[in-house]
Copies of this chain bind each other. A is one copy, B any other.
Amino acid sequence: MISGPHILLINGNTTPAVTVGIEQAGRAAAPPGVTVSAITPPSGPATVESYLDGQLAAVGVCAAIAAQQEAADAFVIACFSDPGLYAAREFSRRPVVGIAEAAMLTAVQLGGRFGLLTPQPRLRPVLEGLVRSYGFADRLAGVQVVDWSVAAAAQPGPARSEAFLQAGRRAWRDDGAEVLILAGAVLAGLEVELAAQLPIPVLDPIKCAVAQAYALLLLGQPTNRADRRAVPERKACRGCPPELTAHLYRAED
């Protein structure tokens, strides 16, 4: 289908290899006739592991969405803390989906309580706060941590599979999780292996987000398109990324 919709994934970090993996994962969930592609944001950290990383990622992600506004029908922020999600929704005239939110919205439709698997102890409170802010605190069975570096967690192999399978088993058996979410973009693909060995669904958040973006497109309603309350007047912004001054701010030295 030549004129089919285009869903654009924005990597939250600036590591091109991760962008490639995100694109592959996204395409695996693309419906017939839908184009899925991924880009690296113009600015931001190499990985997103801290609040400060997230703040910098949010600006890069918003700049990318502003710059590509006419180039896609829907946007997916492909980073599990959903950096810049509310800000992008505010100015974008097309739907914006966050992979963490999308994964949770999917999980609650598949089971009672979901478990999160993350490679980093540091992210545990961040993830719990995210779950709470989306209203799903009562649906969280728990967060299971595999204490691996992000770099190590990004490399497929039997050791990684085994470590996450163990964590998944704990989530299922001890925490009572009825669905699992792989809380990290670098884990894409692992859900197939895990789902084959666990009695519950295992979700890749990137796939969930592509599916949600398409779901929003099916409804054919732009977001907040005419609600002038949502977007303030164009104003000066110092040191603003050029992608944002092009449309949303006036540049200022």
Interface residues of A (CB under 8 A from B): 1, 14, 29-33, 42-47, 49-56, 58-60, 62, 84, 86-91, 95, 97, 101-102, 105-106, 108-113, 121-122, 124-125, 129, 132-139, 172, 176, 178-179, 195, 199-203, 207-208, 210-212, 214-216, 218-219, 221-232, 235-241, 244, 248-249, 252
Q: Which residues of B contact A29 (CB under 8 A)?
A: 218-219
Known: A60-B239, A122-B230, A201-B221. A215 touches B106 (CB 8 A): yes
Chain B CB count within 10 A is highest, among A52, A86, A113, A201, for: A52
Q: Which residues of B contact A88 (CB under 8 A)?
A: 52
CB distance from A233 to the nearest CB of B (A): 9
Contact A229 B122 (CB under 8 A): yes
Cα distance A20–B199 in the bound complex, in angstroms: 38
Contact A135 B139 (CB under 8 A): yes
Q: Which residues of B contact A111 (CB under 8 A)?
A: 89, 223-224
Q: Which residues of B contact A97 (CB under 8 A)?
A: 109
Cα distance A51–B112 in the bound complex, in angstroms: 11
Contact A221 B235 (CB under 8 A): no
Q: Which residues of B contact A236 (CB under 8 A)?
A: 14, 45-46
Cα distance A45–B52 in the bound complex, in angstroms: 19
25 A-B pairs with C-beta separation under 8 A: A14-B252, A29-B218, A31-B31, A44-B237, A44-B238, A45-B236, A46-B235, A46-B236, A46-B238, A50-B87, A56-B237, A89-B111, A109-B216, A121-B229, A122-B230, A122-B232, A133-B133, A134-B135, A172-B227, A178-B230, A201-B224, A211-B218, A212-B215, A214-B218, A215-B215
Known: A45-B237, A110-B221, A203-B221. A50 touches B231 (CB 8 A): yes
Name the one of B219, B229, B238 contacting A203, with C-beta atoms under 8 angstroms. Answer: B219
